[in-house]
Amino acid sequence: MSVINKKTLSNGLRIVHQEDKATQMVALNLLYNVGAKDENPSKTGFAHLFEHLMFSGSENIPNYDIPLQNAGGENNAWTNNDLTNVYLTIPYQNVEIGSWLESDRLNGLGLGARKIAVQKGVVCEEFKQRNLNQPYGDASHLVRDMAYQVHPYRWPTIGERLEHIQNASAEDVVDFYHRFYNPNNLILAVTGHISFERTIELAEKWFGDITKNYPNNRPTIIEPKQLKVRRKEVFRDVPVDSLYMAFHMCERKNRDYYAFDILSDILSNGASSRFHQKLILEKRIFTSVDAYISGSIDAGLFQIYGRPYPGVTLEEAEKAIWEELELIKKEYVDEVELEKVKNKFESNYIFNHINFLNVATNLAWFELLGDANDINNEVSNYKSVTKEHLLHVANQSLIEENCSILYYKKRENKEIENGSN
């Protein structure tokens, strides 16, 4: 991989750069260190709301898209529990236009009452569509709320309740902006057809004079260890029953993270995976079943989700899952099976880093985790996972007392919902 360059401006803005002369484009990836976990528990959904507000114009540029598109650029954004990521790609000759646009909305995002009201309406409709009107739409809310008792991961990025956004005042929104959207809370990753010297020149010119900042003293909230299984049963107007299981796992910077990721792939990634071979093809327990990890900065979740075949009860489906988990806890993973998954990680990494925008996004992410240069260690971190490590992690975490289980059932004139903590 090419050299990774870094510099921090006097206002706290961190810059990460990697040149790629194979493209005629430049990517500007702005990672704001603010996500849903930074929200007030009674005012959730604000980070996602700001993802929308970022494209509503600034104090000086009423329509962000027009000058960017006129310069041949494209842009988008996404938000999760840990961060807000905004990015654009633009021909290298017009990169200064991109710097101007991004600096202007950092320095003075347009937060007039009308713009806030419009975007609140958009976000509320998205909440209704995703979580209230879509089958299984509230499953994520339910699982998170079971698994987390105190940590702010207990609500999803869209927000915990619709009324949190509906009732958000203009003062609440402006306060959230001033607290988190500042140079000292931002990582700017620049990749593509641009030198490090030019990158710093533009950053100093367009971002260097933005002096607003806010102390980043946020409390670290640690979820208490779960001591017994948590169960909940709900009835909804859905076509078929579904099973959800969530196990607590480590934080992103823990070495066990790589073992959890490999375990999830051994169980369910691809047609040769254990779940697909045993539970779908051989035993015909599930029509679909998946295992995946949250990948969050703080301690996350190892999750399993499946929809049983007609006639198979959720109790039978859960029993089949536990049988497969017991196998992976009792026996070492076959070396060939393990090597196949590791090779897939390596090929995905190589393919992902062909694209200069993906590189910018990943550099910003690893800088947030601690050091952008750690991106070069990812393949070796996966390669170093042993069958002994997998067995240890599985036995420590894939156990009933560490699990939250949701039975999401098709409504059949049943009104009672059951839950236990």
Higher pLDDT, 217 or 16: 16
The number of helices, as runs of H, and strands, as runs of E, in the chain is 15, 12
pLDDT at 216 over 90: no
Q: How far apart are CA 120 and CA 116, in angstroms?
A: 6
Domains and CATH numbers, the chain: 5-206 (3.30.830.10), 230-420 (3.30.830.10)
pLDDT at 237 over 90: yes
Quick one: which of 113, 61, 105, 112 has its CA closest to 86? 105
Q: Are strands 14-19 and 186-192 parallel, antiparallel or unpaired?
A: parallel
pLDDT at 328 over 80: yes
pLDDT at 217 over 80: no
Q: How far apart are CA 49 and CA 64, in angstroms?
A: 17
Q: How confident is the model at residue 410 (pLDDT cuts 50, 70, 90)?
A: very high
pLDDT at 212 over 90: no
pLDDT of residue 358: 97
Helix (H, G, I), strand (E, B), or coil: what is residue 290? Answer: strand
| Residue burial 290-323, b: 16+ Cβ < 10 Å; e: rest | bbbbbebbbbbbbbbbbbbeeebebeebbebbee
Q: How far apart are CA 415 and CA 99, in angstroms?
A: 56
Q: How far apart are CA 240 and CA 246, in angstroms?
A: 20
Tokens for 97? 């236009």
- Condensed to tens digits (0 to 9), the pLDDT of residues 19-65 reads 999 999 999 999 999 999 999 999 999 999 999 999 988 889 988 89
206 with 381: CB under 8 angstroms?
Answer: no
Tokens for 341? 């998954």
Percentage of residues in the chain with pLDDT exceeding 90? Answer: 92
- Condensed to tens digits (0 to 9), the pLDDT of residues 270-320 reads 999 999 999 999 999 999 999 999 999 999 999 999 999 999 999 999 999
pLDDT of residue 418: 62
Tokens for 76? 């988008």
pLDDT of residue 417: 57
Q: How far apart are CA 274 and CA 170, in angstroms?
A: 51
pLDDT of residue 199: 98
pLDDT of residue 215: 78
Quick one: which of 362, 404, 359 has its CA closest to 26? 359
Tokens for 258? 């790589």
| Residue 328 DSSP code | H
Taking CA atoms, 273 is separated from 267, 291, 336, 382, in Å, by 5, 10, 13, 18
Higher pLDDT, 254 or 110: 254
Q: What phi and psi values does residue 107 have, to the nearest 5 degrees?
A: -80, -30
Taking CA atoms, 11 is separated from 78, 183, 214, 330, 336, in Å, by 25, 6, 11, 53, 51
Quick one: which of 333, 348, 330 has its CA closest to 385? 333
Angle at 279 between CA 273 and CA 281, to 5 degrees: 80
Global pTM value: 0.94
pLDDT of residue 316: 98
158 with 127: CB under 8 angstroms?
Answer: yes
Q: How confident is the model at residue 1 (pLDDT cuts 50, 70, 90)?
A: low
Angle at 119 between CA 113 and CA 123, to 5 degrees: 140
